[in-house]
Structure 1
Amino acid sequence: MKDSLVDYIFLSREISLPLQALQIISERISFSQVMNFSETKFKKLLTNLKEREKILIRKIDERVKFFAKNKNSDVLGRIKKDLQICEKNDIKCLSYFDSDFPQLLKSIRKPPKFIFMRGEFKLADEKAVAIIGTRTPTKYGSKMAKLVAKRFSELGFTIVSGFARGIDTLAMKSALDNGGRAIGVIASGILNLYPKENEVLVSKLVNNGALISERFPLKSVNKISLQIRNRITSGIGLGNIFVEGTKFSGTKWQFKFGREQGKPAIAVEPINLDSEQSFIPKWIINEKNGYKISTIEDIDYIAEMLMEEYVCRKRKHLKKNKPISKQTSVLKY
């Protein structure tokens, strides 16, 4: 376990420094060096990052006081303990700046500063699509979730889901059963799996994809984590496919984050328009101008569209991926 990772987690999670500030520290100083700063020197650093680098850092005095009080406290010990648990259970902790961190996640609004992962995220997984939906699907919804996931797997796409009961699990299992890859993004810690019944899928999943979480390994699920994990599920995929959901469905969060990220919204066309589970597909198709899937041919068309999106995003990433200049020290203003 590297002490620099402990320091990074402390500065990113506990002090909540913006990613732009963390990147400058990474390239011009070091996280370990900053942890040895005095209260005065840390305040000077944050002030310079705000005034000279134009990085939005609110409540500097509060952050400085917390830093001085906790940099040698039990907070660091807790972080170290969590990372030791990760090591013992073959869980990787990847920072935003790690080379193995999923590239598509780096481009979204408010990307995670670090993630926990079992399994492996391969370069081929950048060609992925998210399939999500209700926890209580109809027979038609279940059939279509399996069919859509199978076809996209055959076309070489990795299937991403929120690992929830119902549509998410059916899509992920279909991909794995048909020789494809899958990525499950969970709202709990990896060692406190939610839902528990999906424990039987973990072994096959980590051997043919990955299990990802933003929460520390033993953390339990909560309402907020269920909502914000959707930005990761959407962020990894090139587009979001919705298979059933009522007007109160949590899949609306997936749509919200997908729209912010510029991801296409696609819905499986319902056959029973009176079913309460048809609300989300109808809403996306009729009110949000989303694409629809009715047949196998539609899946192939959507796949071609997503591949065009994939090529465009790769080009944008190559243009955008420019390092911050290392010539100026933020401590010498």
Structure 2
Amino acid sequence: MLHTELLHALALLKVDGIGDIVAKKLITHCGSAQAVFEAKKKALLAIDGVGEVLFKKLQDHSVFQLVEKELQFVEQQNISCLYYQEASYPERLKHCIDGPLVLFQSGNIDFQNRKLINIVGTRQVTPYGTEFTKKLIADLAPLNPIIVSGFAYGIDIVAHQAAMENNLQTIGVLAHGLNQIYPKMHQKYMAKMEQNGGFMTEFWSTSNPDRENFIKRNRIVAGMCEATVVIESAEKGGSLITANLANDYNRDVFAVPGRVSDKFSQGCNNLIKTQRAHLLNSAADLIYILNWDLQEKKVTPIQKQLFVSLTDDEQKIYDYLQNKQPELMDIIALDCDLPIFKISSLLLNMELKGVIRPLPGKLFEAI
């Protein structure tokens, strides 16, 4: 993006009364951010929502001094600025009417041909939530998705760590500028995240991690991803805001069920009960509903594999499907005397090993 256009785009955001939605409307009408500031009064007043007050504010060019100072910081820190009309801007976020006009980015993020999901949940994560998050990401690793979260305590940092452990890109969407990190104790993870992933924010270096910023940043987390996964949540919480935003953006939402007596399962259970989220038992559920193609990630087909290693349970399933196929997941679990929560993971592992394949309607057959 040309420095001049970026300068004017950022200046628009510093004009009192102009946010992302109004800024995009002005740019669309005038042709560019620079053209907005150069437009005649009659042309601007012809735009719906623009009156005398806003026109006068656009004539105050003192905002450019603030922008120049911010751009100096950006250049010194080697931060990238992603304009909403550029190819480097997250594709799905372009289609969100309230998506940020400009995003600031640090690290080494590659959005090309990648699956993006966000994983969110309570800051007071339980051992159950921790283990589920780690296993989910490990099982999804062969598909090489980008894991997005908010870099907060609890589920967020567990998801980022699990992604790094599985050599996956991971992105932390921040509620403040890139001149600081919150919470401070997570600073130790920054260098490794920026090697394969990094950080994004719409907030300037003058912004603090204020409460309203966390709510605002949730729309970026939801909007840039194909799906939102809520691992654990109380009846009220920030992760439920992200889930609601994802639904508003027509994204898939998944929630991990829990016992009705567990405080940090209430939010997830309510999402499922009110049909605002798919029930998520394992990675296989997400892969099936999102229709992610495993073919390119499978190992060599079974007829070419002479030494495929199967666990006892996997061997039981494989022998069963060889004699009676194709079959539904629920029937496989029943006939093989295996719990349904375990069968999904087993089938996914077998699929990755190339010994079975999924069919429409949640059917599976041996290869």
| TM-score, structure 1 normalization | 0.81
* Partner amino acid, structure 2, of 1:14: V
Structure 1 distance, partners of 2:37, 2:237, is: 43
1:301 matched to which residue of 2?
285
Structure 1 distance, partners of 2:182, 2:233, is: 20
Unaligned runs of 5+ in 1: 51-55, 310-333
Partner of residue 246 from structure 1, selected from 209, 217, 234: 234
Closer/same/farther in 2, CA of residues 289 and 36 from structure 1, 3 Å limit = closer
Asked whether the 8 Å contact 1:183–1:210 carries over to 2, the reply is: yes
1:326 matched to which residue of 2?
none
* Partner amino acid, structure 2, of 1:278: S
2:278 matched to which residue of 1?
291
1:282 and 2:287 correspond: no
Structure with more contact order per residue of length (Cα contacts < 8 Å, sep ≥ 6): 1
* Partner amino acid, structure 1, of 2:52: D
SS in 1 for 2:147: strand
Partner of residue 142 from structure 1, selected from 127, 130, 133: 130
Unaligned runs of 5+ in 2: 294-367
* Partner amino acid, structure 2, of 1:303: I
Deviations 1:243-281 (A, max 9, x none): 1111221112101211110111111122x4312111111
1:65 matched to which residue of 2?
56
2:195 matched to which residue of 1?
207
SS in 2 for 1:179: coil
Partner of residue 255 from structure 1, selected from 243, 247, 252: 243
Closer/same/farther in 2, CA of residues 121 and 57 from structure 1, 3 Å limit = farther
Structure 2 distance, partners of 1:213, 1:238, is: 19
* Structure number with bigger Rg: 2
1:94 deviates by 1.5
Backbone CA RMSD of aligned residues: 2.0
Deviations 1:118-140 (A, max 9, x none): 02432346411110000011111
Closer/same/farther in 2, CA of residues 215 and 125 from structure 1, 3 Å limit = farther
Deviations 1:302-328 (A, max 9, x none): 12322469xxxxxxxxxxxxxxxxxxx
SS in 1 for 2:244: helix
Partner of residue 37 from structure 2, selected from 27, 35, 38: 35
1:94-243 mapped onto 2 (5 Å cutoff): 94-124=82-112, 126-243=114-231
Asked whether the 8 Å contact 2:181–2:187 carries over to 1, the reply is: yes
Asked whether the 8 Å contact 2:82–2:88 carries over to 1, the reply is: yes
* Partner amino acid, structure 1, of 2:287: A
Asked whether the 8 Å contact 1:109–1:261 carries over to 2, the reply is: no
1:22 matched to which residue of 2?
27
Deviations 1:156-182 (A, max 9, x none): 211110111110110111011111111
Structure 2 distance, partners of 1:33, 1:180, is: 41
Structure 1 distance, partners of 2:25, 2:143, is: 37
SS in 2 for 1:14: coil
Asked whether the 8 Å contact 1:242–1:281 carries over to 2, the reply is: yes
Give the stretch that moved more between structures: 207-216 or 92-101. Answer: 92-101
Structure 2 distance, partners of 1:135, 1:125, is: 31
1:264 and 2:243 correspond: no
* Partner amino acid, structure 2, of 1:243: I
Closer/same/farther in 2, CA of residues 307 and 236 from structure 1, 3 Å limit = farther
1:12 deviates by 4.0
1:289 deviates by 4.7
* Partner amino acid, structure 2, of 1:187: A
* Partner amino acid, structure 1, of 2:25: Q
Alignment length, in residue pairs? 288
Structure 2 distance, partners of 1:84, 1:280, is: 43
Structure 1 distance, partners of 2:104, 2:270, is: 34
SS in 2 for 1:137: coil
| TM-score, structure 2 normalization | 0.73
1:87 deviates by 0.8
* Partner amino acid, structure 2, of 1:4: E
SS in 2 for 1:123: coil
SS in 2 for 1:18: helix
Percent identity, please: 25
